[in-house]
């Protein structure tokens, strides 16, 4: 199954899409990788969904990626005696550790690490930013705040801390249990929520031990401030615009999205743009014009993947949402301005042999109008370098490691094929021509270019570039 676009689609599974039939329909409609949100899924449900996805993968004969998204620290206030309270600008509100139901003067904040980290002047945002408090003074067990925005507050509303870096890890005990359960299953990516510092990523990498790719969700200003260090440690990045838009002024989010997308591409790390991309399709059969422009903007920017959240997880039209996103992406990539915009953002190759070979392969393929670039890759690094170049010709990623092919389903432009390893250059060229022909990328008489690392099977050793003709029988005409 060949996609007619290069940006990938990440679809979240949930109550509206948790059957084998719907997952298969989502894949056919355009979903390349599926997200399981551990904020809502139990271990049993996660395992069931993984089995269903792998069955769909076997049915269609194409590698499919699975991302398990850890919940991260969810901060919430306690409850009020009457369920809610009215607020006035300038009034005082105490946040304390007392579990007694609150009133107009106080409410519980059952997170001691937050109390210890707050400082005078810091903002406390409640209910997705609808209520804003400023800390006047604080102690280990309570903080006196002043209301600076909001008219009412009700039970168990979420807490955001844009000016405060917590001392504790972003990996909660629940996350650890969820991660351990997920690593027992054939998944490909794990996403970490609410990270604040590079050490948060290092902690997950230590636990994962290379078994999955680690995706860092950028949704806090503290993470934006240390973006380069986080990108260096993570395997992929997500622009999580929902929570980012709560803690950072909304007008700054588009610029931050562009910054993250370009920084990820320069580093050769996949970038996912997420949250509210087709939000109206949770209930409507068609998106708004603004939503179409939003998806198009992410594709024009060169994001590796665009994500559907509630649209595919709990919406009324999950398959239609994927189909619409697929259509938008195809239209953008056919636009006359798309190649110019993508090329203008191309980063200079690093001073390494692998980067030089990959950049040369892209330039040769475009100059000679070749049918495809074929990358032999064990770890995925060769094909990810090719993707970083954003060539106009298709990229085939051939890997003997099924897990690598699945993980690469998140990466821009890669058509992944699980293929036996090759033993010599002649076999490599013949295999490349055969796969390119069989997968519908190269007709007899057309040329392809192949990149690989010699000796074969050595991760990260891209050092070979070879041109070849596809013969009438679909093999190498050398």
Per-residue model confidence as pLDDT tens digits over 369-401:
999 999 999 999 989 999 999 999 999 999 999
Given 145, 261, 275, 358, the catalytic residue: 275
Say whether both 185 and 283 belong to one domain: yes
pLDDT of residue 290: 98
Q: Is residue 24 part of a domain?
A: yes
**Does 289 score more than 60 pLDDT?**
yes
Say whether both 214 and 180 belong to one domain: yes
Say whether both 256 and 155 belong to one domain: no
- Domain boundary among the residues 125, 160, 195 is at 160
pLDDT of residue 354: 86
**Does 458 score more than 70 pLDDT?**
no
**Does 299 score more than 80 pLDDT?**
yes
Q: Are 381 and 475 in contact (CB under 8 A)?
A: no
**Does 477 score more than 70 pLDDT?**
no
CA dihedral 420, 425, 431, 433 (to 10 degrees): 160
CB neighbour list of residue 306: distance below 8 Å, 6 or more residues apart = 7, 8, 9, 10, 272, 273, 274, 277, 295, 298, 299, 325, 329
Given 76, 176, 211, 258, the catalytic residue: 76
- Domain boundary among the residues 160, 194, 214 is at 160
pLDDT of residue 475: 74
**Does 297 score more than 60 pLDDT?**
yes
pLDDT of residue 453: 83
Q: Examine the residue annotation and report whether 100 is marked as an active-site residue of this protein.
A: no
Smallest CA-to-CA distance from 174 within 186, 189, 187, 192 is with 192
Cα 18 to Cα 52: distance, rounded to the nearest angstrom: 9
Between 168 and 273, whose confidence is greater? 273
Least confident of 311-315, 327-331, 343-347: 343-347
Q: Is residue 325 part of a domain?
A: yes
Say whether both 64 and 116 belong to one domain: no
Per-residue model confidence as pLDDT tens digits over 203-257:
999 999 999 999 999 999 999 999 999 999 999 999 999 999 999 999 999 999 9
Q: Are 329 and 295 in contact (CB under 8 A)?
A: yes
pLDDT of residue 160: 94
Say whether both 262 and 408 belong to one domain: no
Q: Examine the residue annotation and report whether 275 is marked as an active-site residue of this protein.
A: yes
Segment 413-419 mean pLDDT: 97
Given 6, 8, 35, 197, the catalytic residue: 35
Smallest CA-to-CA distance from 232 within 256, 191, 273, 201 is with 201
Q: Is residue 477 part of a domain?
A: no
CB neighbour list of residue 34: distance below 8 Å, 6 or more residues apart = 10, 11, 12, 13, 23, 26, 49, 53, 64, 65, 66, 67
**Does 459 score more than 80 pLDDT?**
no
- Domain boundary among the residues 300, 334, 368 is at 334
CATH number for the domain that contains residue 358: 3.40.1380.20
**Does 313 score more than 90 pLDDT?**
yes
CATH number for the domain that contains residue 104: 2.40.33.10
Say whether both 42 and 104 belong to one domain: no
Say whether both 370 and 445 belong to one domain: yes
Q: Examine the residue annotation and report whether 35 is marked as an active-site residue of this protein.
A: yes
Per-residue model confidence as pLDDT tens digits over 334-376:
999 999 999 998 888 888 888 999 999 999 999 999 999 999 9
Q: Examine the residue annotation and report whether 323 is marked as an active-site residue of this protein.
A: no
Q: Is residue 302 part of a domain?
A: yes
Q: Is residue 327 part of a domain?
A: yes
The neighbour count for residue 46, using CB atoms within 10 Å, is 21
Q: How many domains does the chain have?
A: 3
Say whether both 64 and 179 belong to one domain: yes
Q: Is residue 219 part of a domain?
A: yes
Q: Is residue 92 part of a domain?
A: yes
pLDDT of residue 457: 64
Determine the number of helices (DSSP H) and then strands (DSSP E) in the chain: 17, 21
Mean pLDDT of the chain: 95
Say whether both 358 and 329 belong to one domain: no
| Residue 140 pLDDT class (50, 70, 90 cuts) | confident
Q: What percent of the chain clears pLDDT 90, i.e. is strictly above it? A: 89
Instruction: State the DSSP code for 75.
Output: -
Q: Is residue 474 part of a domain?
A: no
Given 217, 220, 241, 390, the catalytic residue: 217
Say whether both 187 and 220 belong to one domain: yes
- Cis upstream peptide for 455 (omega within 30°): yes
CATH number for the domain that contains residue 212: 3.20.20.60
Say whether both 460 and 368 belong to one domain: yes
**Does 476 score more than 70 pLDDT?**
no
**Does 319 score more than 80 pLDDT?**
yes
Say whether both 191 and 254 belong to one domain: yes
Q: Which domain holds residue 119?
A: 84-160
């Amino acid at each position: 199954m060949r996609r007619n676009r290069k940006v990938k689609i990440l679809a979240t599974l949930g109550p509206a899409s948790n059957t084998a039939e719907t997952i298969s329909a989502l894949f056919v409609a355009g979903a390349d990788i599926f997200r399981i949100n551990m904020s809502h899924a139990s271990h049993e449900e996660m395992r069931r969904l993984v089995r269903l996805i792998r069955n769909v993968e076997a049915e269609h004969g194409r590698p499919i990626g699975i991302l398990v998204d850890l919940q991260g620290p969810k901060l919430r206030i306690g409850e009020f005696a009457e369920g809610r309270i009215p607020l006035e600008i300038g009034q005082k509100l105490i946040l304390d550790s007392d579990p007694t139901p609150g009133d107009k003067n106080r409410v519980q904040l059952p997170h001691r690490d937050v109390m210890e980290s707050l400082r005078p002047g810091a903002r406390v945002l409640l209910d997705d930013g609808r209520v804003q408090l400023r800390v006047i003074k604080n102690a280990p067990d309570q903080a006196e705040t002043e209301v600076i925005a909001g008219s009412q507050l009700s039970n168990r509303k979420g807490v955001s801390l844009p000016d405060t870096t917590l001392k504790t890890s972003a990996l909660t005990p629940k996350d650890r249990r969820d991660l351990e359960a997920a690593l027992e299953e054939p998944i490909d990516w794990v996403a970490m929520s609410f990270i604040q510092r590079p050490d948060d990523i290092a902690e997950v990498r230590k636990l994962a031990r290379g078994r999955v790719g680690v995706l860092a969700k950028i949704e806090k200003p503290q993470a934006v401030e240390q973006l380069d260090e986080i990108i260096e440690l993570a395997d992929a990045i997500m622009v999580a615009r929902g929570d980012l838009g709560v803690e950072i002024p909304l007008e700054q989010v588009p610029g931050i999205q562009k910054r993250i997308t370009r920084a990820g591409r320069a580093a050769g790390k996949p970038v996912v743009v997420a949250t509210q991309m087709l939000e109206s399709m949770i209930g409507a059969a068609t998106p708004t014009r603004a939503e179409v422009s939003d998806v198009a903007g992410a594709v024009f920017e060169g994001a590796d993947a665009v994500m559907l959240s509630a649209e595919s997880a709990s919406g009324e039209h999950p398959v239609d949402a994927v189909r619409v996103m697929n259509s938008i992406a195809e239209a953008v990539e056919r636009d006359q301005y798309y190649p110019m915009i993508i090329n203008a953002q191309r980063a200079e190759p690093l001073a390494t042999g692998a980067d030089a070979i990959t950049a040369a392969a892209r330039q040769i393929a475009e100059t000679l109008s070749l049918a495809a670039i074929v990358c032999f890759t064990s770890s995925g690094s060769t094909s990810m370098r090719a993707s970083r170049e954003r060539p106009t010709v298709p990229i085939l990623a051939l890997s003997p490691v099924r897990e690598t092919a699945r993980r690469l389903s998140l990466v821009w432009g890669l058509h992944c094929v699980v293929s036996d390893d090759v033993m010599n250059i002649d076999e490599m060229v013949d295999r490349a021509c055969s796969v390119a022909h069989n997968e519908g990328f190269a007709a007899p008489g057309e040329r392809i270019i192949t990149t690989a690392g010699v000796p074969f099977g050595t991760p990260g050793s891209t050092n070979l570039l070879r041109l070849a003709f596809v013969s009438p029988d679909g093999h190498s005409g050398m």
